Amino acid sequence: MRGESLQPGDPVPPFDLPLDTGGRISPRALRGRPYVLYFYPKDDTSGCTKEAVAFSALLDAFQALGVEVIGVSRDSLASHARFRSKHGLSVKLASDEDGKACEAFGVWTEKSLYGRRYMGIDRSTFLVDADGRIARVWRKVRVPGHAEEVLEAARALVAGQAS
């Protein structure tokens, strides 16, 4: 299955990524609880910083629901650690330096800026249910209000799983 065609109900693609705080994340490690994977282009850029700060600000609300939040980019663990420290981030940051997770989720795409074409991460978010299935997909994310929208979807998911 190609990553860009991931739809709600599909099994989450395999991944195994190191975290800047130590340890690793994978669908197996996260199984049994819902989680958010948000893919972002680059540490310490304007939009990516605003997104990470927004998710960090809502982390307590996500955790109260039992939902993990993990930001993923192709930056190194050292870059993630600097990013976390500089902006006081509390969300987990995973490094996908080889780009395999980005490919699996279909977020590694051709982009264009000022007429120049290049490959990069399309800002995308995936809400995964406790059974390891995609519950919701957001592509071409606009940062303002996005973390709040994901939190509302997580609330609905958890409420639905409880009933």
- The answer to whether 103 touches 2, Cβ cutoff 8 Å, is no
Segment holding 49, helix H or strand E: helix 46-57
Residue 95's SS3 state is strand
Residue position matching structure tokens 């390891």: 132
Residue 73's SS3 state is strand
List the structure tokens of 57. Answer: 């600000």
* Active-site residue list: 48
